[in-house]
Amino acid sequence: MAPLTTPTSAAAGLRLVPGFFDRRQQEELVVALREVVRRAPLYTPVMPGTGKPFSVRMTNCGPLGWVSDPHGYRYQPMHPLTREPWPPIPEILMRAWAELADYSAPPQACLVNYYGPAARMGMHQDRDEEDLAAPVLSISLGATCRFRICAAVRSASTRSFLLTSGDALLLGGPSRLAFHGVDRIVAGTSTLLPDGGRINLTLRRVTKPQDEAPQRHYTS
């Protein structure tokens, strides 16, 4: 039988903050994301090499956005289809990073993943960032999902637990490079999004901070 899992014991360095955003804040986030998606429409990325489409749809906000196409994975400053710069990261997310990330510099990328009822995310590492000292901050909105993570960076032993709307999850320290993925979305678990899907936001620092203004300048 698989070991019983509490999220904090699933992998060293992993931190779950259940219900970090209350319902009112989740609704505020959805409003902010509608504006992000209006300016940077969701699109279906494809895997490098195979060209196989992802089951999630994606967009980004922030100075940099994570993209996947036949040439590979990378960060770039503009939307791959509109060629426009990504819209800014909403203030409510910048504040969440300031509160939770315990890192001196602001995030540069916020990947927006939209999961329809049948979407999933295969096991992978977040390792396209030059700065691995910063955690990845992941926010869940809408339907509950079953999230899976390796107990160590590369381990045959995986653990899973549910992420629900408003939860914040930090992959930091030893868990920063742990393989992780989303097994499935649990239908009928949230009324936040009209069509019952799920949104995951991942905030990341991409480059190592140099002479940037400290983070307090980014928050009110």
- DSSP helix/strand/coil, 220: coil
Q: Establish if 21 lies at the interface with ligand SIN (CB under 6 A).
A: no
| Ramachandran category for residue 142: left, alpha or beta (phi over 0 → left; psi -120 to 50 → alpha) | left
Residues 132-171 that bind ligand SIN (CB under 6 A): 138, 147, 163
Q: Establish if 182 lies at the interface with ligand SIN (CB under 6 A).
A: yes
From candidates 58, 79, 115, 126, binder to Fe ion by CB under 5 A:
126
Smallest distance from Fe ion to CB 201, Å: 11
Output 54 or 218, the one with its CB closest to ligand SIN: 54
Per the DSSP assignment, residues forming a β-bridge with 171 are: 14, 136
Buried b (16+ CB within 10 A) or exposed e, 132-149: eebbbbbbbbbbbbebbb
Output 86 or 147, the one with its CB closest to ligand SIN: 147
Smallest distance from ligand SIN to CB 70, Å: 19
Give yes or no for a contact between 130 and 55, defined as CB atoms under 8 angstroms apart. no
Residue of 119, 122, 134 lying closest to 184 (CA atoms) = 119
Q: Establish if 180 lies at the interface with ligand SIN (CB under 6 A).
A: yes
Q: Establish if 200 lies at the interface with ligand SIN (CB under 6 A).
A: yes
Residues 78-117 that bind ligand SIN (CB under 6 A): 113
Residue of 35, 171, 160 lying closest to 101 (CA atoms) = 171
Smallest distance from ligand SIN to CB 171, Å: 8
Q: Establish if 59 lies at the interface with ligand SIN (CB under 6 A).
A: no
Smallest distance from ligand SIN to CB 214, Å: 28
Residue of 115, 86, 92 lying closest to 30 (CA atoms) = 92
The residues that touch Fe ion, with contacts defined as CB under 5 A, are 126
